[in-house]
Structure 1
Amino acid sequence: MIFSGLLSAQAFFNKMFDSILRAPMSFFDITPSGRILSRASSDQEKIDFSLVFNAGTAVSLCISVLTIIVATCQAAWPSFILVLPLLLLNIRYQNLYMATSRELTRLQGVTEAPVIDHFKETFLGTQTWLGFRMDLIGTVILSATAFLMVILPSNFISKELVGMSLSGGLSLNSMLLSTISIICMIENDMVASERVSQYCNLTSEARWEVPDSIPSPDWPRRGDITVENLKIRYRQNAPLILKGITISIKNGEKIGVVGRTGSGKTTLIQALFRLVEPTEGSIVIDGVDICTLGLHDLRSRFGMIPQEPALFEGTLRNNIDPAGLYSDAKIWQALNSCQLKDLVASKPEKLDTRVADMGNDWSLGQKQILCFCRVLLKRSQILFMDEATSCVDPQTDAIIHSIIRKKFANYTVISIAHRIPTVKDSNRVLVLDAGLVKEFDAPSNLMGRPSAFAAMVREYEIRSLSAQPSTG
């Protein structure tokens, strides 16, 4: 039974793990991370341990109870007067026990701790009260049955069988109570398996790979992007976030995306990675509709520089080349292009230098530059940046912009800008407003006439001046 329980627990966890990894972003938007961790920790622990051992104990107790009942009734059939009321009473009080236990389970995780502690005390008191009452009732029934057997004629039942049936009846009451209690615990712990089972059947993202629609190895080769009447909503029946965007981006263009909070900047990037599936419209890159591709074939062909860089515990080589696709020579070449070669070469273990969890032993600027190393290795023709220089010092900012100008001169770069001046060097600026394209033109043209972009630049400059400390 333990071996079968282990296999079942592994099956539950593996299926839940795969289901969560393949869940769409909308699931994580509406599901607290604490709830996911609770499923994978406390609920999974009940499946791993409590259910397995309690099930074994319950089977053993049920066999013992059944054996006592059969042996006692066979030895002295009037003992059935003892057995039947005990069974009925245990079933009657089982409902009250289960109701109290389920209420305690329901309150855990959704109620404040003092309330749960008070209810636990009430639950334990109810359990003690039920045990005491069952023992009292069992003693009364056992005494009545013993008296009945004593007053019966001697030839009605042999005296040695009377002693055997009464000795079995003495242990039957407590064993029945233990059996009912353990069965209630199993039924209560089964809620954990129901919770885990819910996460085993989550709605999945699109297919990871589509064998009939695999792009060429060098796709995207040019980096042309055409967005036609793109409409996006995060959930069914939710309002549209993007309300019909139509833009065309040529290869090698540097596009800055600006807009106020809630205008749809991040949603547009998510749509290009298909983190959110289009409700209507299409996105065509180098003549290929991205909705026909597998998610791996799509996302692996793009470069992404996040606003907050991430490193993982392991070696420096694994962080720069997680899939192990490139030689050390190419990694050193990428580090040299990002001006990190001398720093890494000065470390004793070179590329095998250990990286702490979350890259805490590297500065924020160094982590951001290492993210550029990843992109340089991939040589992705399309690069997305989410204000990659907003959290770094001016020297690192200058290094990053130098990398973009030299190494990504012929690449299509789409940058979400939270600081308006960072997009002035772009070929064109895309201004979004309430999910619609308000302006899409060169920065010089937009600044030369009354425009929403010019108004945003002036507003940013006023805020910057007011934030500066006064002198004198």
Structure 2
Amino acid sequence: FGPRPPAPPPAVPDCGGLSSSANAGIYSALALGHVIVLITTSIFLTAISVRASGSMHRDTIKRVLYAPMGWYDATPSGRVLSRFTSDLNNVDVKLSMDMDNVLQMIFMVGTLVGYIAAASWVLCLAAIGIFFLFCVSTVVADRAVREVRRIANNAVSPVMSTISEFKAGAALMRAMELTPFFAARQSAFIGEWSHISYMARALQSWSSHVGGMLAFLLGSTTALYIVGNRALFTEELGGLALTYATVVPYFLNIVSEMFVQMRTSVAALERLLDYLDLPQEPEHERPDDPPIGQWPTAGRIEFLDLCMRYRPGLPLALQDLSATVEAGAKVGIVGRTGAGKSTLVLALFRLVEPASGTVLIDGRETSSLGLHTLRRAMTIIPQDPVLHDGTVAHNLWPFGNISDDELRSALVRARLPADMLHAHVAKGGTNLSSGERQLLCFARAMLAGAHILILDEATSNLDEAADAAMQA
């Protein structure tokens, strides 16, 4: 029979007349270009995110700090904490990452659809139809997830507020044996928040299941079309179309999940943007404000038909009040609880704007002054002293433009030892007695040198001798 003829060499696919090394170079260039695009996009989005987040934080905190007191009364503290913790974290960290991931996945899906279109325009139309169904399901899920997330963010506010209440009133809560009550209430708040969070997770899972069904639909359609039209496809082309048709829905599912996450971060951004529209206090500085030290010169206060309410729609807390406090006079205001004693102080400092009437100090209307100018002219010592974590010197005068000798002199005048000037003060003055905290506030008021001094039961924790000395 003779020797067997040699086997023919394997067929080399047609590469458009390009050598293998040229094709490898093109592939390497495309891969390198892809890496460069990814790195550039990530750097760009990160830089924009850092700049936008810094601006957002500065503007938002400024609007919150200068919001009127009525807004603080109507807004739970837990909601404010939620905005500046979880929401700000979403904007700082997650938003740019989610946007980057969504853009990359959309680019990937577009490339895969292009491969399918190269195989058959009919399959391309099928892929576009599946993409349309995907967009509809994503929009529906997004609306539901956003609403549930909004409810969940409101539900977490009572949880955080209760934690703050626990910390502030732990001693009283234990003394009144109310620990089980507050624990049960906190458990109910956590249960409600967990229930709503579970609903949000369930909606995200629903989006994943929809993506899986769309993947099965596109893969089945592609397989049936290729089998029914085998004459139109080579083995390579049919395999290419079927492979990418089954992969596209997988990436669409990833896009759906990332899009929902991105919308959650965008919802956090929207909640922060709402704080940029908060009502603000009046101007703090005005061009016609008197220079520091030139007003007031005596400290005469007049109330003329003053009416004030805490918020629109509430009854008047002060109604048609008219009174005069002469310069240098010591006046005590007494009355039952709710009579308006503290409200009168709020009106003096314009922490709440009057509904009508006028307040005059040395003949000048307080409403015509900037808030900084007005509030610098008065000093208040509250019943609950406000002290910060730091030294005694820092709590007396944090601005640093007064010598230690003057600070020690103020301590001695307030009946405190001069050698405690550099002693440490814990937050809220918890390492000092109640009387020492009030005396420290008296020393701070002496350094301010204001013509008008307001005491809101400021000697309630002092002994009789110290009380008489402070009021002398």
Residue aligning to 2:456 = 386
Letter in 1 for 2:55: A
How far does residue 224 in structure 1 lie from its aligned partner after superposition? Answer: 1.3
Contact 2:377 2:450 in 1 (8 A): yes
Partner Cα distance (2:433, 2:269) in 1: 43
Contact 2:218 2:246 in 1 (8 A): no
Moved more, 140-149 or 162-171: 140-149
Partner Cα distance (1:193, 1:153) in 2: 52
Contact 1:24 1:204 in 2 (8 A): yes
How far does residue 68 in structure 1 lie from its aligned partner after superposition? Answer: 0.8
Residue aligning to 1:398 = 465
Contact 1:76 1:161 in 2 (8 A): no
Find 2:252's aligned residue among 169, 176, 189: 176
Partner Cα distance (2:436, 2:211) in 1: 70
SS in 2 for 1:284: strand
Residue aligning to 1:5 = 49
Partner Cα distance (1:2, 1:151) in 2: 49
Once the two structures are superposed, what CA deviation does each residue of 1:377-424 show, in whole Å capped at 9, x if it has no partner? 12211110001122x142xx421321331xxxxxxxxxxxxxxxxxxx
Letter in 2 for 1:144: T
1:78 corresponds to 2:141:
no
1:186 corresponds to 2:262:
yes
Q: How many residues are paired up?
A: 395
Letter in 2 for 1:254: K
Higher helix share: 2
Partner Cα distance (2:362, 2:210) in 1: 79
Do the aligned partners of residues 124 and 384 (structure 1) sit closer, same or farther apart at CA in structure 2, a change above 3 Å counting?
Answer: closer
1:38 corresponds to 2:114:
no
- What residue ranges of structure 1 are gaps of 5+ in the alignment? 406-472
Structure with more relative contact order (C-alpha pairs < 8 Å, separation 6 or more) = 1
- What residue ranges of structure 2 are gaps of 5+ in the alignment? 1-44, 156-188
Do the aligned partners of residues 128 and 371 (structure 1) sit closer, same or farther apart at CA in structure 2, a change above 3 Å counting?
Answer: closer
Higher strand share: 1
SS in 2 for 1:226: strand
Once the two structures are superposed, what CA deviation does each residue of 1:440-461 show, in whole Å capped at 9, x if it has no partner? xxxxxxxxxxxxxxxxxxxxxx
Residue aligning to 1:49 = 93
Do the aligned partners of residues 129 and 37 (structure 1) sit closer, same or farther apart at CA in structure 2, a change above 3 Å counting?
Answer: closer
Do the aligned partners of residues 398 and 288 (structure 1) sit closer, same or farther apart at CA in structure 2, a change above 3 Å counting?
Answer: same
Partner Cα distance (1:328, 1:130) in 2: 66
Find 1:161's aligned residue among 213, 233, 237: 237
Residue aligning to 1:359 = 429
Do the aligned partners of residues 335 and 251 (structure 1) sit closer, same or farther apart at CA in structure 2, a change above 3 Å counting?
Answer: same
Letter in 2 for 1:173: P
Contact 2:393 2:421 in 1 (8 A): yes
How far does residue 214 in structure 1 lie from its aligned partner after superposition? Answer: 2.2
Letter in 2 for 1:13: H
Residue aligning to 2:348 = 272
SS in 1 for 2:459: coil
Partner Cα distance (2:46, 2:359) in 1: 52
Once the two structures are superposed, what CA deviation does each residue of 1:264-309 show, in whole Å capped at 9, x if it has no partner? 1111111111111122221211222221111111111212111011
Contact 2:222 2:241 in 1 (8 A): no
SS in 1 for 2:332: strand
Partner Cα distance (1:266, 1:368) in 2: 18
Once the two structures are superposed, what CA deviation does each residue of 1:7-42 show, in whole Å capped at 9, x if it has no partner? 222222111100011111111111111111111111
Find 2:286's aligned residue among 210, 220, 231: 210
SS in 2 for 1:177: helix
Contact 1:72 1:165 in 2 (8 A): yes
Q: Quote the RMSD (CA, aligned, Å).
A: 2.1
Residue aligning to 1:143 = 220
Once the two structures are superposed, what CA deviation does each residue of 1:303-359 show, in whole Å capped at 9, x if it has no partner? 21110112101121111012223222211211121121xx341xxxx5332221111
Q: TM-score, normalising length from structure 1?
A: 0.78
Task: State the identity %.
Answer: 31
Moved more, 140-149 or 268-277: 140-149
